[in-house]
Every structure is written in C-alpha cells, then in structure tokens.
C-alpha cells in the first residue's frame, strides 16, 4: 500500500475583504487555485516526487494572470517585470533560488534547474539569465507579462513615488507557493513572486531567500511564505517554523502559530504561510484578513480552496 501524500498552495495574503472582491472574481481565483491543486495532486497520485509536485503547482499559478508571479507579475520602477523564485527539497536539503530575473516565462523552472545543479544555490540578474539560456528555458518578451490592470497599478505608484503592494483597493501581498509531502515521505517547498509594484534599486523580498520565504526539511516540515518581504526576511519565517519543531519539539500548528501570530505580529509584519509536516499535517496560517489558499491530500477527493478567514 502506498503511503499518504499532502499538498497545499497559496496565491498571496493580505487585507482581502469580501466587499472588495466580486463574486465573479472570487470564482475566478478559486478555479485557478483548484487547477493548480489538481495539477500538483495528479503528479503525486502518479508517483511523482514532492519537488516535482510543487514545481508543477507553482507553474500553474505563474501561468495565471490573477496572481503576482510569472504571467501576473507587477511592474518595477523602470516598467520592467523583475521576478524571483525558489524551491527546496526536504530529503536532500538541495535548493535553487533566483532573483532579479527578467524575460523567463516561468521563474520556478529556473529555480529548479539551479536546484538540480550541485554547484549552485542562488543566482541573480544577467548571470541567472545566461544560466537559463544554457538550459533552454522558455524566454518571453515583456508583452507577455503586460496587462492593463498591472499598468494602471504602476502608473498610480509612479504618481506617488511609492513602492506598493499588489492590488489597488486591497492590501494584498502578491506571492504564490506550494508545499508537498510525497508517497516516499519526502517534503518540498516552492515560492515565486513578481515583488512590489514600482520596486526600485533592485529591491528583493523573501521569496527567493531560502530560510525566509521557502524552506523544507524531512525532519520537520516544508514552508512557503507570503507577506511583506522585509519582515519575513528579518524574521527568517520559514526556517523558524522548522526550527521550533526540530529543537523546540513543537507541533506544526504550534510552531506556525508562534511565528505567524506572535513573532510577526510583534514586529508588525503581515502575511501568512502554508506548511506540511512529515506526517502529512497541513497548516495554512495567516495574520491578515485573508489568504488565497488551497489544500488536498491522499485521504480526500476534494480540492479545498478558500480566500477569507
């Protein structure tokens, strides 16, 4: 008999109020989350690894313009689309991360290629693009990422000379991510983002930083984060949750709540996490009004999705 598996995804967190999201938009978001869950779950049901499953799920989210990653990435100060992503294996602790990347259709694929290369963990900018070209990853023009809604956000941010979170009308931190446990008992996590609207000076968040935005270790859990990156960087959120489990003997829920609802709140950091442990327990913890999220496992047929608390 095959062992159980589990999968969770997120599409960002923040002040997501029911009054600010139309029923039609909510349906669109939930359908997109279900599609990503379906793709990731199919991989696990077919015997795929946790690393493969999180890459597949995040790819589906990157390909959807509703989320701030890949196709839906927001615009930087110079009008470009500059993205970051990371992925980590809980079995081997191998990781791949990329920051400041432009023109690559799916940054998570580049992070996976880095993960697979034993000589590297973290790449950025032009060097990362050369590495992507070497591996023949799909390149796209800026027109691929361009949408009128993102352009409108960018113009508003330029007018006030501010770096803004994802959506106008709502304080949403745009990131996508996935965590998984596979049939072999191995964990993995992946995260991808387009960052902040109108970001300047090569600003980076936590999504490409192993230990802050992404972490996986078979001894404890796999975590993917979404929130205001500066706080998640300073709090090393993803690794902290795993450390509380490994050294503090806390459960996944206890560790997640301690970091998200205590440590981050004291720092005035807003956002959330998705996590799964080596026993298949799933946690979707956030201190904001809402978080685009989904979860499923080998023990249930349903693809569960939610937006609000």
Q: Which residues are catalytic?
A: 175
Q: Taking a C-beta distance cutoff of 8 angstroms, is the pair 193, 84 a contact?
A: yes
Letter string b/e over residues 180-208, b meaning 16 or more CB atoms within 10 A of that residue's CB: bbbbebbbbbbbbbbbbbbbeeebbbbbb
Q: How far apart are CA 8 and CA 6, in angstroms?
A: 7
Which of 77, 80, 84 has the alpha carbon at shortest distance from 143? 80
DSSP one-letter code for 19: G
Strands in 5-91 per DSSP E:
6-15, 83-89
- How many CA atoms lie within 13 Å of 78's alpha carbon, on the beta-carbon side? 9
CA 288 and chain centroid, separation = 16
Among 125, 131, 126, smallest CA distance to 112 is for: 131
Q: Which two structure tokens, joined as six digits, stand for 80?
A: 């470009």
Residue by residue, DSSP assigns 118-136 as: TT-SEEEHHHHHHHHHHTT
Residue 198 φ/ψ region, left for φ over 0, alpha for ψ in the -120 to 50 degree band, beta for the rest:
left
Q: Confirm if 226 and 173 have CB atoms less than 8 A apart.
A: yes
Rg (CA), the chain: 17
Helix (H, G, I), strand (E, B) or coil at 225: strand
């Amino acid at each position: 008999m095959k062992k159980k598996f589990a999968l969770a995804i997120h599409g960002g967190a923040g002040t997501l109020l029911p009054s600010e999201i139309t029923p039609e938009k909510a349906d669109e978001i939930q359908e997109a989350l279900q599609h990503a869950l379906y793709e990731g779950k199919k991989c696990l049901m077919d015997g795929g690894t946790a690393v493969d499953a999180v890459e597949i799920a995040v790819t589906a989210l990157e390909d959807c313009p509703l989320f701030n990653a890949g196709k839906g990435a927001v615009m930087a100060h110079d009008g470009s689309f500059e993205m970051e992503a990371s992925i980590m294996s809980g079995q081997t602790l191998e990781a791949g991360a990329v920051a400041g990347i432009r023109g690559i259709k799916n940054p998570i694929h580049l992070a996976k290629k880095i993960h697979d290369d034993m000589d590297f963990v973290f790449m950025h900018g032009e060097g990362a693009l050369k590495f992507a070209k070497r591996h023949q990853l799909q390149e796209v023009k800026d027109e691929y990422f361009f949408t009128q809604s993102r352009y409108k956000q960018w113009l508003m941010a330029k007018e006030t000379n501010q770096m803004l979170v994802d959506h106008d009308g709502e304080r949403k931190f745009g990131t996508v991510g996935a965590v998984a446990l596979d049939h072999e008992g191995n964990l993995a996590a992946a995260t991808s983002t387009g960052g902040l609207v109108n970001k300047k000076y090569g600003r980076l968040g936590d999504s490409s930083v192993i230990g802050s935005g992404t972490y996986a270790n078979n001894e404890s859990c796999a975590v993917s984060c979404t929130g205001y990156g500066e706080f998640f960087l300073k709090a090393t959120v993803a690794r902290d949750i795993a450390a509380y489990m490994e050294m503090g003997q806390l459960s996944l829920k206890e560790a997640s709540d301690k970091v998200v609802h205590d440590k981050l709140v004291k720092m005035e950091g807003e956002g959330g996490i998705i996590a799964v442990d080596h026993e298949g327990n799933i946690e979707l913890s956030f201190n904001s009004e809402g978080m685009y999220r989904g979860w499923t496992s080998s023990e249930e047929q349903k693809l569960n999705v939610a937006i609000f608390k």
